[in-house]
Amino acid sequence: MAKFFEEPSRTFSEYLLIPGYTGPDCTPDKVSLRTPLVKFKKGEEPALSLNIPMVSAVMQAVSGTEMACALAREGGVSFIFGSQSIESQAAMIRKVKATKAGFVGSDSNISPEDTLADVIALKNKTGHSTMAVTENGKADGKLVGIVTSRDYRVSRMDKATKVSEFMTPFEDLIVGDENITLSQANDIIWDNKLNQLPIVDKNQRLVSFVFRKDYEDHKSCPLELLDDKKRYIVGAGINSRDYAQRIPALLEAGADVFCIDSSEGFSYWQAETIRWVREHYGDTVKIGAGNVVDEEGFRFLAEAGADFVKIGIGGGSICITREQKGIGRGQATATIDVARARDKYFEETGIYVPICSDGGIVHDYHMTLALAFGADFVMLGRYFARFKEAPNKVVTVNGTYMKEYWGEGSARARNWQRYDVGGEAKMSFVEGVDSYVPYAGRMKDTLDLTLSKITHTMCNCGCLTIPELQRDAKVTLVSSTSIVEGGAHDVVVRDENFDSRAK
C-alpha cells in the first residue's frame, strides 16, 4: 500500500506570523539579511553568501545578463538559464564577469565608416546616447573615438555623414588604463568634468566605461555581491545531460556557482552530475541541486554532495506539473519538512546545507514566511520577470504594459532536459505555460519595498537576523474565514480614480 502523509499539503497563504517582543534596538535598519548560499562545516564560514535572501530563477524569461548585474548590485544572485547553447550561455557569463562594480561593458558600438543614420538606429535600439567608436565596430575593438548626443544635431546634418566626421577622436579623449581602480576613475571624471571615462588596455582596445551617473548608484549599493576581483557574482543553470561539456566552459567564462535545473531532484542523474563535479573539481566548484519536497529527497542530495538544495514541485505560477502528473506538494509544507531534515543532517554531520524555497511565492510576506519556516533563501521567477532588467519583451495587452513570461517546461522554452527521466531527448507533454505579467519598471524600486517589508516584519517578530527568525518565529495556521478577515472587508473601498473624476 502507498505511504500516506497524515498532514495536508499547505501553502504559505494558510499561515500567519505571531508578533514577538520588539525591543528598542530592534529596528529595520539594524536587520541583517545575510544568508549562506553554499554548504559549510560547523564553526566555519561559507565560501559564498548572499546579502539578501533572493536569487532569480533559472529561466529564459528571467535571468539574463542585465538581471544578473542588477541583482548582484543589490546583494543577490542570478542563475543564467541553461536552456541555450553552451557557447551562448558562456558568453552571457563572460559579459557579467566583465562588468566590475562601476565598470560597464559597452553594448553600443559603432565603426568610423558607419553613418549618422546608424548612430540614430543604434540609439533607438539600446537607448544609450554614448557610443564607442572602434575600428571593427565591436565592443573589444581598438578605440578610435566616442560619439555622444553633443557631437551631432539630427536636424542640421545629413544622415549619410560618416561617424569619423563628427565623433570625438581618441587623441582628444581622456581615458583610463585597465588597471585603474573605480575610485581613481571617479576622481578623473570629477576633476575633468567628464560624463564618462573610457577604459582601454595597452593595445588601445576598449575594456569598459565608467559613467558619472553611476557614481551615486554605486555609492547607494553597499550590499553589492562581488568576487575578489570586484566583479559581480553570477550563477549558471546546468542540466544532467551535457554537464561534462557545459561546466568546464562556464567555469572558464567565470561562473561562480551552478544549479542543476530540474523539476525533480530525487534522481540518479542528479547524483551522477554531482559525483562528476566532485571527481573532477573536488569541493572547489559549488553546485546546488533539486527540486525536492521531503526529508528523503533532501537527504539523498545532501549525501550526494550538493552545496544547496532547492525545494518545490509544481508551485510556480507558470508550472502545471501538478495538473499534468498529479505530483508535488504544497510549498509551505515542503519547506517545513525539508528544513527539519536540514537541521537533523547538521546535527548528525556538522555540515550545514542551505535550502532554497523555489515557487509558491505570491505575496511579499510569503518570502518572510519561507524564511521563518527554515529556508535560507528563496528563488523567484514571476517576481523578477516583471522588471525592465529581465530579458523578456515588453508588450501591450488590452492597453496595459505587460512582460512575456513562460515556463521552462512550456512548448516555447522546449527545455526537455529539465524534465529528463532518462528517456528520449524530447518533450512528450508540457509542464509549463506561456503567459504575461504586469510590467513593473526598474527592479530596484520594487525590490527596496519588498526588502523593507521583510525587515519590518522581522522586527515585529523581535528578530534581527534570518537564523533568529528561523529559531524564534511564532506561526499560526489560519482558517478560510480569517483569510477573508485579513483583507479589506465590510467596507466600500474608495476608488481614487472615481474621486478625481468627480472633482
**Rg over CA atoms, the chain:** 25
State yes or no: is 418 an active-site residue. yes
Residue 348's alpha-carbon distances to 13, 42, 292, 300, in angstroms, are 33, 11, 20, 15
Whether residue 142 contacts residue 135, with contact meaning beta carbons closer than 8 Å, is answered with yes
Give me the catalytic one of 221, 342, 418, 463.
418
Neighbour-count burial of 309, counting CB atoms closer than 10 A to its CB (0-12 exposed, 13-18 middle, 19+ buried)? buried
Task: Tell me the C-alpha distance between 233 and 96, whole Å.
Answer: 8
State yes or no: is 414 an active-site residue. no
> Could you tell me the three cell numbers for 478?
489560519
Task: Tell me the C-alpha distance between 323 and 433, whole Å.
Answer: 12
Evaluated on CA atoms 451, 452, 458, 462, the torsion sign reads: positive
Nearest 10 degrees: Cα torsion 411, 417, 419, 423: 110
**Beta strand 131-134 pairing with 109-110:** parallel
Give me the catalytic one of 26, 221, 259, 319.
319
Query: DSSP string spanning 402-434?
Result: EEEEE-TTSTTT--GGGG--SS-SS-SS--B-E
Task: Tell me the C-alpha distance between 402 and 432, whole Å.
Answer: 19
Q: Which residues are catalytically annotated?
A: 319, 418
